[in-house]
Structure 1
Amino acid sequence: MTRDGQAAAGAGVAVTGVGVLTPAGRGIAPLWRTLSAGGARPLPIEHFDTAQAGTGLAHFVPHEPGLPGPGHPERMSALATAAVTDALADAGARGEGTALILATTDETGAEVSGRWDGWQTGGTTPRGVPLEERVAAACGLTGQVITVATTSAAGCVALGVARRMITSGRVRRVVVCGVDVITEAGFYGLAALRTLSPHGCRPFSADRSGIRISEAAAALVIEPDTPEGGRARGRLEGVAANNLAAQPARPEAEGVAAAVRGALRQAGRRPAEVDYVNAHAAGTRHGDAAELTALWEVFGDRLLRDLPVVSSKAAIGHCQGAAGVVEAVVSLATLERGEVLPTLGLDSVDPAWREHNLGGRRPGRPPEVAVSVSCGLGGVNAAVVLGADRTGPDSAGARREVAAHVS
């Protein structure tokens, strides 16, 4: 992936499998229900002291048998392993020769917090096997293993790396897995930046004041084109990323617009072809404004008419380094189901955007092309273009879910 996203325009890259664990539960069906109404319920953080942060709530993946609890050193690897396993099963794929790209804000796999705890108690925490290698081994993946740790944009950037690997012809299959858990180091890092809000994520709202962090794991299986006679969840058409920002703690419209234009250019798409935008929109004062300014620069007054701009974070919180992959899953589900869900909790829309289509007005036809945007600390801006797959035998109907996790 180049700086402006120019690489192999029009090359066929398919998403053939999905696995996702969010605060809504395990699978796409519970995620869709939570995005449709109500949102996930935040819970108190109990595995470390939050008294100095101004808020003590976060969103957690619901417990299931065998899943280590919050604060357990193996929770992160367990969530990632579950997501990758489900994605491979959904694709009907095996791990031999399959590469893994792990996207996260914590490339140590929560080891930083473990070492901090060890230091506080006078002990030590020895360095173990790296997170990405543990996940690859657990899932039987024998291909190349890479970690992308570009903060909240990690998932989106990792999809660009995967697309580049596939279009190079050197790799037959890649699994991109975004994962993060709630750690003391990460939580207080965001608190120090005054990013956390006791009220949670309120994207596009007049009273937005910051984010509520969430844990999640989501995985996508990426392969060349759609297998003959097979099916795909969708198509990974283009990805672009840059570091165009005036300061590292907040995005700028110029950088976001450049990422969206670069992704569209790589996909060979015009702005007029886009039917749906999943915005980064975490509910920060500056970030939401910069992003909608950027989208106006790219799409113009379509934002007032037939182009819905939606944020998933209102329903499930900010999934940190997993957000880009989780929101790609949401975008793919939107294309598959032909339905656009509105942003939740828009009782008090910022007056500047009251005329914008924030998902309340549906497009005139089922969406075929989606753009998902991610921004991260360090000034990273990224965008991915996803297309509906209409070539498989069951593309017109509901796809199968990973059997045990959709109810």
Structure 2
Amino acid sequence: MAESRRREVVDRIRELLARQRTRTEVDELGEHEPVAVLGIDSVTLITIAAELNQRWDLTVPDDAVLDPAASLASLADAAVAPAGRDDGRLDVVGMGAVGPAGRGVPALWAGLLSERAYRLPMPYEPARGHRLGAVPGASPADVVAPDRLLELVLVAAQECLSGRHPDRRSGVTLVVGTTDTGGNALGHALRAQGDDAAALAGWIADRAAEQLGLGAAATVGSASASGAVALGYARDLLLADEAEEVLVVGADTVSRSAFHGLAALRTLGVDGCRPFHANRRGIALSEAAAACLLRRPTPEAGDTVLGRLAGYGASSWTTHMAAPESAGIELALRRALAAAALTPSDVSFVNAHGPGTKLGDVAEMRALADVFGDRVRTLPINSVKGLLWHCQGAAGIIESLACLLSLRHGTLTATTGAEPLDPEWEGYDIVTEQREVADARSAISVSCGLGGVNTALVWERA
């Protein structure tokens, strides 16, 4: 790297470090001194590396970032400037949804505003008193039907693609995020002792793509964060020019394996999801599917832009397979903000993962406090899980649609079932009543999953 270019990179790293420490401390740091002498850890350096990439198209390899002796000089020398690209923002040009609030995006928005959703008794071990969130009008037989997962995927996808000429569909890549390991279809196949390959979740995207007339297809499984991870994967495909448009669908049924698996982990509660409630006792499950059609900005295409995906961050940080950790959520948040080249002060509100579990809500709120500092007490925070319950693989996308709809309509929906709030968050701005947010420009949606999968998505108003 030419000396002038190297000097420029060093100056940019100093600029970003100055957000973490005083300008004097940063200016006095020698180029070859480890940045650790300032108390800068690897998590902060990862965030700085992400912002270098987003703002100035500079890539710093992980081994340089994670080196305990990392210095201004070593980071600058390792920086690589790839071919130029845009700012990484993607247009949302289609949405689709089906779930406990109804069929279609208008029904989703109406349900969030009215706080109405459809429930059924859980078909598994009914004596335990659990309920599930279901598509309005669905019968107990419907929700356990073998091809229920495919049906939900197709309903959401078809709404998302409505108005798109069939000739344009062949260039659309489908990515499905789901926790389903075969779910109802696999259960039926096993009981019949058959060999139904279509029962496997890995085939769901292929089957859906074939029926929809789409191009390539992939299935992503990352526990309850599957939908959000699928959005991140779609973003990677588009920014790498490996797809023209990507249809992302998050979907799940309430299968026997999901119910018994989560019951064994003591994650389920008979009261439904009650985010931030003083006596929250666990999650309740819902069937749902949500879809989002993404593409790189193409002004001449003529489609209505419904919003923008500005940034994505993820981490796989855990010391316990079931208990969430704030450090992992914090890292995902910082990466997402860095990818969007935004600061915490730029965020208008947060749509929290908010599962309503004792440990989950605490870990997430602690992460938000670490990222937003004192502003966390005035930052509007809501969770739609209080109404929709836990939509599993669909959660990351259906909650992202809630963010986009709130930004478009200038209205923040209530966190159903949150009151009375846990005294630990007294004085925080947890939204328990619908409110106007006409000036909202950007929002963060958080999604987490078992095994330490943490994600954050930054959405912007079009």
TM-score normalized by the length of structure 1: 0.87
Aligned-pair distance for 1:215?
0.6
Mapped partners of 1:350, 1:281: distance in 2: 13
Q: Which residue of 2 aligns with 1:382?
A: 455
Q: Which residue of 2 aligns with 1:97?
A: 171
Unaligned stretches of 5+ residues in structure 2: 1-45, 56-86
Q: Which structure: larger Rg?
A: 2
Aligned-pair distance for 1:8?
5.0
Q: Which residue of 2 aligns with 1:396?
A: none
Pick the structure with more helix per residue.
Answer: 2
Q: Which residue of 1 aligns with 2:383?
A: 311
Q: Does residue 1:61 correspond to 2:135, yes or no?
A: yes
Mapped partners of 2:163, 2:156: distance in 1: 10
Aligned-pair distance for 1:141?
0.5
Determine if contact 2:130/2:269 at 8 Å carries over to the other structure: no
Residues paired across the two proteins, number: 377
Mapped partners of 1:64, 1:38: distance in 2: 19
Q: Which residue of 1 aligns with 2:268?
A: 196
Mapped partners of 1:289, 1:90: distance in 2: 43
Aligned-pair distance for 1:346?
2.7
CA-to-aligned-CA distance 1:106-138 (integer Å, 9 cap, x gap):
1536443234433xxxx3342237211111111
User: Letter of the aligned partner of 2:335 in structure 1?
Assistant: G
TM-score normalized by the length of structure 2: 0.77
Please give the residue correspondences for 1:218-233 in structure 2 after superposition, counting only pairs within 5 Å: 218-228=290-300, 229-233=302-306
- Counterpart secondary structure, 2:225: helix
Determine if contact 1:17/1:91 at 8 Å carries over to the other structure: no
Aligned-pair distance for 1:360?
4.7
Aligned-pair distance for 1:170?
2.2
Mapped partners of 1:218, 1:43: distance in 2: 20
Determine if contact 1:17/1:90 at 8 Å carries over to the other structure: no
Q: Does residue 1:16 correspond to 2:93, yes or no?
A: yes
User: Letter of the aligned partner of 1:264 in structure 2?
Assistant: L
Aligned-pair distance for 1:62?
2.0
**Structure 1 residues 365 and 72: alpha-carbon distance in aligned structure 2, compared to 1, 3 A threshold:** closer
CA-to-aligned-CA distance 1:208-263 (integer Å, 9 cap, x gap):
00000001000100001153354211111111111111211021110001000000
- Counterpart secondary structure, 1:236: strand
Unaligned stretches of 5+ residues in structure 1: 390-407
Mapped partners of 2:163, 2:180: distance in 1: 27
User: Letter of the aligned partner of 1:106 in structure 2?
Assistant: D
Of the three residues 439, 443, 449, the one matched with 1:366 is 439
Aligned-pair distance for 1:365?
4.7
Identity %: 38
**Structure 1 residues 206 and 360: alpha-carbon distance in aligned structure 2, compared to 1, 3 A threshold:** closer
Aligned-pair distance for 1:302?
1.9
- Counterpart secondary structure, 1:151: coil
User: Letter of the aligned partner of 1:341 in structure 2?
Assistant: T
Q: Which residue of 2 aligns with 1:395?
A: none
**Structure 1 residues 90 and 110: alpha-carbon distance in aligned structure 2, compared to 1, 3 A threshold:** farther
Q: Which is bigger in relative contact order (C-alpha 8 A, separation at least 6)?
A: 1
Mapped partners of 1:243, 1:259: distance in 2: 9
Determine if contact 2:386/2:418 at 8 Å carries over to the other structure: no
Aligned-pair distance for 1:23?
0.5
Q: Does residue 1:254 correspond to 2:331, yes or no?
A: no
Mapped partners of 2:390, 2:93: distance in 1: 25
RMSD (Å) for aligned C-alpha atoms: 2.3
